[in-house]
Amino acid sequence: MASPSAAANSFPDAAYRVAVVGGTGYAGAEVVRLLLDHPQFEVAVVTSGRSAGIPLHQECPWLNTDLVLSEYAPDTWTGIDAVVLAQEAGFAAEHAAELIPHYRVIDLSADFRLRDPELYRQYYGKSPAPNLGAVYGLPELVDRDEIRNARLVANPGCHVTAALLALMPLVSLDLLTGTPIVDTKTGVSGAGRGRKETEYLFSEIAEDIRPYAVTGHRHIPEIEQMVGRPIRFTPHLIPVTRGLLGTIYAPTKAADFDAIYREFYAGEPFVRVIDGLPQTKAVRGSNRADLAVRYDERTEMLTIMVAIDNLTKGAGGVAVQNLNLMFGLPETAGLSAGGLWP
């Protein structure tokens, strides 16, 4: 028991109005989906460069709203408190500076994630964004007060969220003895809704398992800047829409890892260290991360497995979690820790 229904109640005390820039892609629409059922936020503006003027539910038939899509035109906005940017790389780099004087801003792209501008140039092949004091928005692993006070939050990548939740307990205790290997299996929605390459067609993806970006994936420096050492990372494309499973192989000496991980994440509302093995469907549509560890003495390696919904905990959910922190609300407001199954 807990949440009054979206449809049932209007909260007269609903205080904060949000503009979602790029609301018809998967990540942006996930933010809208969550905010439409949120008690203290109201979706006031949803933009779409391609579909301005069209009702949002025509582009996104799952969203039960009469909102009409508009162009990105912040000078026409009134009464907006927060802006969520869900655009291609480069948009936030160009526009964040004009927004942060007026709004609290969360950016879902990679533009402000890397501390070292050279790494951005190297992995993205473009000029890095200006330094606007962005805070890295992974609440479980950074100082939450920084998020609470930030004007600009850079949402972490979904592979990175899984890898860091798995590795940081070891890093914090300096337990790694070699190169960790991060092997992720991700649903197709991570490729976005605008991808028109043949390879993302249903008929190409269904019944297929494949690796991609075997070396040099852009998420590597984002993981390494927190882990503090090189990692080996390979993602795989799996025929599911939502869900990301990380299997992390960490060389380390024997220890009571189950206790270490449970203590590290004690009190976290959205991280659950479980007895069984994580599976992505248990967290589908949820902001929860399920995590388990198994040690293999024969090879002195810890296997850490973590399951998230790449669009919720890996994108739209953590955005709402960060919004909650930024506006002084309970961190869990409007976010379910339960999944949709089957």
d(CA 52, CA 68): 8
Q: Which is nearer to a second copy, 151 or 193 (CB)?
A: 193
**Residue 113: CA count within 13 A, CB half-sphere:** 29
Using CB atoms within 10 A of its CB, is residue 322 exposed (0-12), middle (13-18) or buried (19+)? Answer: buried
**Shortest distance, CB of residue 91 to a second copy, whole angstroms?**
20
Q: Do 132 and 97 contact (CB within 8 A), yes or no? A: yes
**Shortest distance, CB of residue 290 to a second copy, whole angstroms?**
8
Q: Do 127 and 107 contact (CB within 8 A), yes or no? A: no
d(CA 222, CA 130): 17
**Shortest distance, CB of residue 20 to a second copy, whole angstroms?**
12
**Shortest distance, CB of residue 1 to a second copy, whole angstroms?**
4
Q: Which is nearer to a second copy, 90 or 241 (CB)?
A: 241
d(CA 336, CA 34): 9
Q: Which is nearer to a second copy, 26 or 136 (CB)?
A: 26
Q: Render 124-166 in DSSP notation, one character per residue.
A: HSSPPPP---PEE--TTTS-HHHHHH-SEEEPPPHHHHHHHHH
Element (H, E) at 210: strand 210-211
**Shortest distance, CB of residue 100 to a second copy, whole angstroms?**
23
d(CA 211, CA 234): 7
Dihedral sign for Cα 24, 244, 178, 272, please: positive
Q: Do 200 and 188 contact (CB within 8 A), yes or no? A: yes
Q: Which is nearer to a second copy, 97 or 183 (CB)?
A: 183
Q: Which of 20, 129, 158, 160 is catalytic?
A: 158
Q: Which is nearer to a second copy, 135 or 304 (CB)?
A: 304
**Shortest distance, CB of residue 272 to a second copy, whole angstroms?**
8
Q: Do 199 and 286 contact (CB within 8 A), yes or no? A: no
Report the 3 state secondary structure along 290-328: EEEEEEECCCCEEEEEEEECCCHHHHHHHHHHHHHHHCC
**Shortest distance, CB of residue 128 to a second copy, whole angstroms?**
21
55 DSSP 8-state letter? B
Report the 3 state secondary structure along 102-116: CCEEEECCCCCCCCC
60 is catalytic: no
Q: Which is nearer to a second copy, 75 or 297 (CB)?
A: 297
Q: Which is nearer to a second copy, 143 or 296 (CB)?
A: 296
- Give the catalytic positions in this structure: 158
